Amino acid sequence: MSHPPPDVPSDDCLRSYNYLFSPDILRDKVAFITGGGSGIGFRIAEIFMRHGCQMVIASRNQQRLSDAAKKLIAATGQQCLALSLDVRDPQTITAAVDKALKTFGKIDILINGAAGNFLCAANSLSFNAYKTVIDIDTIGTFNVSKVMFEKYFRDHGGVIINITATLNYRGRMLQVHAGTAKAAVDAMTRHLAVEWGHNNIRVNSLAPGPISGTEGMRRLGGHQPDWDRNILGSPLQRLGNKTEIAHGALYLASPLASFVTGTVLVVDGGNWLTYANDSMKLLGIETYPSKL
Ligand code: HXC
Ligand code: NAP
């Protein structure tokens, strides 16, 4: 069955929630998520908190994080700490992880969700544009994972979930920057799973397909030629929603996945298998502004 659970397009909590997993599957756990103030990261934070988890949401925009934390606490009754950091700056990561450990005394789960993206042809990308996406997505994921390892996971174990994408599987047009960045993160997932397994750390990637109500979709979605046909022609014939991604993350973080490490869980309704990726139709497109 592929009926989606209800969702809302804005960065607000769900109006109602029907439990599929045990409601206390993450009771007394603490999770730290980069990019937790918006989009997919916000919904992961909400679903984790609904399952008993205390949460740290971290990114650059302190105001948006504080607003998000208020909504999450009101909807779930769990604690949520909003901390500003830039995943490109190890000092800010260290300060945030220190604060989180001081507040909660432990961290069990790290979700690397921070990312940056836009549509741009390879020949139009500036050197700095390419580097910026690699810095945020790939190096940022390494930076936060390394700080977490040194500060806590090395001695206590933990779970790491890296949010990636399917863009690189078939070389998606206008996405060389994000595709290579996320491919490197999937490789990092396997390396760290191997190196840190004996520290009782599981490391997995979760690769969403096109997800409604997200900044990613606003930037990459409807203005591509044949977008609707691409979605309707995909195996499950629809966009995914944020709750469906959060359920994938919940599975990977939970004891249900106790023997799962070094993998990529693709949650895309089969989209990457059939997406047209038509180079002739997209050849005329150089770049789109990030904010449309
Ligand atoms: C071409 C662009 C561009 C665009 C920025 N640049 N936007 N180039 N097309 N639309 C270039 C700039 O000109 C600059 O190069 C360089 O990128 C860095 O830009 P800054 O604005 O200085 O960077 P910064 O402030 O660090 O912001 C990073 C950002 C921004 C990625 C550019 O958009 C951001 O903060 N994004 C976060 C939110 C986000 O992207 N969410 C979507 C995630 S979706 P020059 O040479 O001029 O200095 C996702 C998707 C998935 O990841 C898959 C969906 C299917
Ligand atoms: P989003 O809401 O824009 O999420 C990106 C988050 O990253 C924002 O909360 C942003 O917050 C944070 N961020 C960006 N740069 C940062 C930095 N330098 N340091 C710290 N935080 C930073 O977009 P989304 O669409 O929900 O995407 C969430 C994740 O899913 C991303 O990893 C994305 O690649 C992945 N994904 C999305 C889709 C989709 O269809 N939407 C598909 C495949 C994969 P600040 O601005 O506050 O820093």
Give the model's pLDDT for residue 94: 99
**Closest residue CA from atom 41 of ligand 1:** 116
Q: Are strands 264-267 and 80-84 parallel, antiparallel or unpaired?
A: unpaired
231 lines ligand 2 (CB under 6 A): no
Domains contained in the chain, CATH given: 30-283 (3.40.50.720)
248 lines ligand 2 (CB under 6 A): no
Backbone Cα Rg of the chain: 18
**Sorting pLDDT into bands at 50, 70 and 90, what band is 291?**
very low
User: Rounded to whole angstroms, how far apart are CA atoms 7 and 264?
Assistant: 24
In angstroms, the first-to-last Cα distance of the chain is 34
**Closest residue CA from atom 5 of ligand 1:** 129
**Closest residue CA from atom 55 of ligand 1:** 210
Residue pair 31/48 in contact (Cβ under 8 Å)? The answer is: yes
Scored b (16 or more CB within 10 A) or e, 95-128 reads ebbeebbeebeebbbbbbbbbbbbbbbeeebeee
User: Rounded to whole angstroms, how far apart are CA atoms 35 and 41?
Assistant: 5
**Ligand that lies nearest to the alpha carbon of residue 178, given by its number in the listed order:** 1
Per DSSP, what are the bridge partners of residue 112?
Answer: 34, 162
For residues 147-166, give the mean pLDDT. Answer: 98
User: Above 50 in pLDDT, residue 25?
Assistant: yes
133 CA distance to ligand 1 middle (Å)? 7
**Ligand that lies nearest to the alpha carbon of residue 217, given by its number in the listed order:** 2
User: Above 70 in pLDDT, residue 125?
Assistant: yes
For residues 246-268, give the mean pLDDT. Answer: 98
Q: Are strands 158-163 and 54-59 parallel, antiparallel or unpaired?
A: unpaired
**Closest residue CA from atom 30 of ligand 1:** 116
Give the model's pLDDT for residue 229: 80
For residues 239-267, give the mean pLDDT. Answer: 98
240 CA distance to ligand 2 middle (Å)? 16
User: Above 70 in pLDDT, residue 252?
Assistant: yes
**Sorting pLDDT into bands at 50, 70 and 90, what band is 232?**
confident
Whether the predicted model's global pTM rises above the 0.85 cut: yes
Per-residue pLDDT tens over the stretch 38-73: 999 999 999 999 999 999 999 999 999 999 999 999
Give the model's pLDDT for residue 63: 98
**Sorting pLDDT into bands at 50, 70 and 90, what band is 136?**
very high
138 lines ligand 1 (CB under 6 A): no
289 lines ligand 1 (CB under 6 A): yes
User: Rounded to whole angstroms, how far apart are CA atoms 176 and 189?
Assistant: 20
